[in-house]
Amino acid sequence: MGERLLTVEGLSTHFFTYAGVVKAVNGVSFTLDRKETLGIVGESGSGKTVAALSLMRLIPDPPGKVVEGSLLLGDRDLRTITDEEMRQVRGNDIAMIFQDPMTSLNPVLKIGNQIAESIILHQDKGKGEAWRMAAELLDRVGIPDAEKRVNQYPFEFSGGMRQRAMIAMAISCNPDILIADEPTTALDVTIQAQIIDVIEEMQQRYESGVILITHDLGVVAEIADKVMVMYGGRTVEYGSIDEIFYNPHHPYTWGLLGSLPRLDQTEKTRLTPIKGQPPDLITLPSGCPFAGRCGYERPECRDQWPQLEIVGPDHGVNCWIPEDERREARASLPHFQAYVR
């Protein structure tokens, strides 16, 4: 890959509410290089969106707060730069696209306006030129009739087109990093693949790093270079795409992979969801949040957060189960018989 763009170390974000402290993100670390795609995977509530918003300093305060961590963009720590500097980072160095394009676009402003806004703000262009560029961008993300479309309102676009418009908005200032938060969840399955293609295309063109947040492993398999699996606000495993898919070490990762439907399953086979409920983020155990749902739980799991264990090249896992026991357990899981080495 290219140069190192982002280094996040020990990010922790908490929400101080009436009912207690919600520990949404605890001690998360990752890096991102140019032209690299990082997939952050986990179920809802795992903290993946909060982590991304923390990066952008978009966590509402009150009640939220980034309580710990360093967020290095190049040589600047995004946690400590001024508000003014942060505003220059947003949309310019790091851009974000959100899950639901219908509610994430202002219904009373024209699409062209919303795209040109970024350009005028960050690139010092005049209105006329910014609108022209907006039309170009719409064309580039695959919206037909861009000249006309740029003067329309969000409600005149279809779901997939709106998401493309959001992507156009995000890349308008050639950001180094593009964060896509569940970009396909709100869309039809048939459109999902198209949107992923657009993101990939833009990544190639602008040579940016992409952070793709999703719960959908299928999407991750398509374009991610490396994957970070989160649960209960913590990273439980990270590694390259191949390592995660073919050599997963954490029981939660097994669960995720196991719940995917497979082409070679017969119709009568039931799908295997992960048993249990997501954790209560206020009363998290001091140990592994997955304890209780794991199925392989040991006494130390609840009390202490397991140390990082390196199990392969650039592949780490946080789990108390010794490695050989893990391999054994994994081997006995039905869906792994077919392809795990």
Q: Which residues make up the interface to another protein (CB under 8 A)?
A: 15, 17-20, 22, 24, 43-45, 49-50, 53, 56, 58, 60, 62-64, 87-92, 95-96, 98-100, 103-109, 117-118, 121-122, 153, 155-156, 166, 169, 181, 185-186, 215, 259, 261, 270-271, 273-274, 277-278, 280-283
Q: Closer CB to another protein, residue 108 or residue 338? A: 108
Q: Closer CB to another protein, residue 271 or residue 310? A: 271
Q: Closer CB to another protein, residue 27 or residue 278? A: 278
How far is Cα 142 from Cα 194, in angstroms, rounded to an integer? 10
Q: Which residues contact 37 (CB under 8 A, 6 or more apart)?
A: 203, 209, 210, 211, 212, 223, 224, 225, 226
Q: What is the DSSP string of 25-41?
A: EEEEEEEEETT-EEEEE
How far is Cα 154 from Cα 10, in angstroms, rounded to an integer? 39
Q: Closer CB to another protein, residue 38 or residue 96? A: 96
Q: Which residues contact 51 (CB under 8 A, 6 or more apart)?
A: 11, 13, 25, 28, 40, 230
Q: Closer CB to another protein, residue 109 or residue 310? A: 109
Query: How deeply is 128 buried, as exposed, middle or buried, from its count of CB atoms within 10 A (0-12, 13-18, 19+)?
Result: exposed
How far is Cα 23 from Cα 14, in angstroms, rounded to an integer? 5
Q: Closer CB to another protein, residue 121 or residue 191? A: 121
Quote the least distance from Cβ 225 to another protein, whole Å.
Answer: 24
Quote the least distance from Cβ 305 to another protein, whole Å.
Answer: 20
Quote the least distance from Cβ 328 to another protein, whole Å.
Answer: 27
Quote the least distance from Cβ 52 to another protein, whole Å.
Answer: 9
Query: How deeply is 261 buried, as exposed, middle or buried, from its count of CB atoms within 10 A (0-12, 13-18, 19+)?
Result: exposed
Quote the least distance from Cβ 43 to another protein, whole Å.
Answer: 5
Q: Closer CB to another protein, residue 19 or residue 338? A: 19
Cα–Cα distances (Å) from 187 to 161, 166, 220, in that order, read 10, 13, 16
Quote the least distance from Cβ 58 to another protein, whole Å.
Answer: 6
Quote the least distance from Cβ 313 to another protein, whole Å.
Answer: 32
Cα–Cα distances (Å) from 281 to 17, 148, 242, in that order, read 12, 47, 31
Helix (H), strand (E) at residue 146: helix 146-149
